[in-house]
Homo-oligomer: A and B are copies of this chain.
Amino acid sequence: MTLEEQVLERIKPSTDEKQKLEEVTSELLAKVSKSAASLGVSNIIPKLVGSAARNTWISGTHDLDIFIAFPADTRREDLEKNGLRIARNVANEGQNIEERYAEHPYLKMEYKGFDVDLVPCFAVDSASEIISAVDRTPFHNEFIKKTIPGREDDVLIMKQFMKGTGTYGSELRTQGFSGYLTELLIVHYGSFRNVIRNVCNWKPGLTIDMLEHGTIKHHDSLIVIDPTDPKRNVAAALSLNQFAQFIDGCRAYSEEPSEEFFFPKEKEPMNEDDIIHMMNSRRSSFIAIVFKAPHLVDDILYPQLDKMEQSIRALFEEYEFQVLNSGYWAKEEVIVLIELISSQLPLVKKHRGPPVWVCGHAKGFKDKYVYSDDLFSLYIEDGFYIADIRRKFATAKELIEAKIESCSLGKHLGKAVSSGFVTVEDTDIAKIKDPGFRRFLRKWEHGK
């Protein structure tokens, strides 16, 4: 049995599992129709979409996306109102019911062991005429159902490979490959092995346009023109780093395939001694900014964390602290961790003034510094006045404490930081006990 067959054996749903899914689906579709009828909404069509409908779901994932398609000429208010009424009716027998809002409201629930989304949409004639973003999904469904048969197993193996290498998922936290994008890669290249082989030679800007109908120039790392919508890049959410990570993964796998790519061992948290040893052997400076995590969905939280990390890096660079690496980890607490060349700078700072021959500015500069208590020395270098002056923030801690709130942190994180944060430095960071955080610190190590 090949490695890929072994993987498939672990991830392919059993006949029982499939049958169970089909039963629950039929039940739910019938419930939607019945519920609509009982509410006097006669013209809707319920349909299963997503990987469950395409036989591209991995064993153990029990997601059912049930769409409730309204005629395209339905008024938006009616769709929202009636969609939700039908969904609430169906959800009578569900648990953990949540009403969510994307472009319009939908409903999430747990039902007989499945995570069910009940999503109203407009039944438009083509994907280029969509009214709401979700209206596209049924077209994706049709395209994949037509083109994938016979290659479902390759999709499963591909998805598992992406999960194992951390590149699966197009949500803002991951910025990797969506399920639909994965399916399209299999359709385009024909098999898991062919995807691997081709990805090894991908370069940024690569365009895949199966139907040769693309109409717009995209500026993304990867461009996969949507077969159902010539204007859309299915890979728009893929970050440059995940694009690179995927190439790296495919190349490493093609050189030396192993089960590890699909099912990596979960990293052990570092222990206190490991962390201290890691820091002492690098001899750089670490500073952690710790505060209570706000309650937010990942798609709101993670973009703000990215922004915060970048703002803090920029703050350090502005004040001449050189950043080596950074990262963040979030659970009950958010910890933004920055590694610096040094968390201490000399008190003296070189401040370049105007060239000597720019008369007005030169006078202003000299007048400002000559009698200042903050001046160490004033001289001319390469024709410019230079004042060696006292630095305002000579330690990373002082800088963060004085300036973090004026950074651009994003609305919710800005608030969270304002209501209190602490800084923890160097080996004191090893006292933070959360195993998730200590696993995150493995980023600073190399697993050979």
Q: Which residues of A are interface residues toward B (Cβ below 8 A)?
A: 200-204, 221, 240-241, 243-245, 247-248, 251, 281-285, 324-325, 341-342, 345-348, 350, 355-357, 359, 362-363, 370-371, 375-384, 388, 394, 443-446, 448
Contacts and interface: CB of A to CB of B under 8 A. Distances in A.
16 contacts: A204-B383, A221-B383, A241-B383, A244-B380, A244-B384, A248-B356, A248-B362, A282-B347, A283-B348, A283-B394, A324-B350, A342-B342, A377-B443, A377-B444, A377-B445, A377-B446
A371 B247 contact: no
Given A243-B383, A356-B244, A357-B247, A376 B346 contact: no
Contacts of A203: 357
Contacts of A448: 370-371
Contact of A283 (B243, B248, B346, B445): B346
A154 B211 CA distance: 87
A373 B380 CA distance: 46
A362 B248 CA distance: 9
Given A348-B283, A448-B371, A204 B357 contact: yes
Nearest to A255: B363
Contacts of A221: 383
B376 A282 contact: yes
Q: How many copies does the complex hold?
A: 2
A382 B445 CA distance: 19
Given A251-B362, A282-B388, A348 B375 contact: no
A240 B348 contact: no
Contact of A357 (B244, B345, B357, B380): B244
A370 B256 CA distance: 15
Contacts of A282: 346-348, 376, 388
Given A221-B383, A325-B388, A376-B445, 17 more contacts: A202-B357, A204-B357, A241-B383, A244-B357, A244-B384, A251-B363, A282-B348, A282-B376, A282-B388, A283-B346, A283-B394, A284-B346, A284-B347, A324-B348, A342-B345, A370-B448, A379-B443
A447 to B, nearest CB: 9
A291 B363 CA distance: 41
Contact of A378 (B201, B247, B251, B446): B446
Across chains A and B, which 6 residue pairs bring their CB atoms closest together, nearest first? A284-B346, A244-B356, A282-B348, A283-B347, A283-B346, A244-B383
B245 A446 contact: no
Nearest to A248: B356
B359 A200 contact: yes
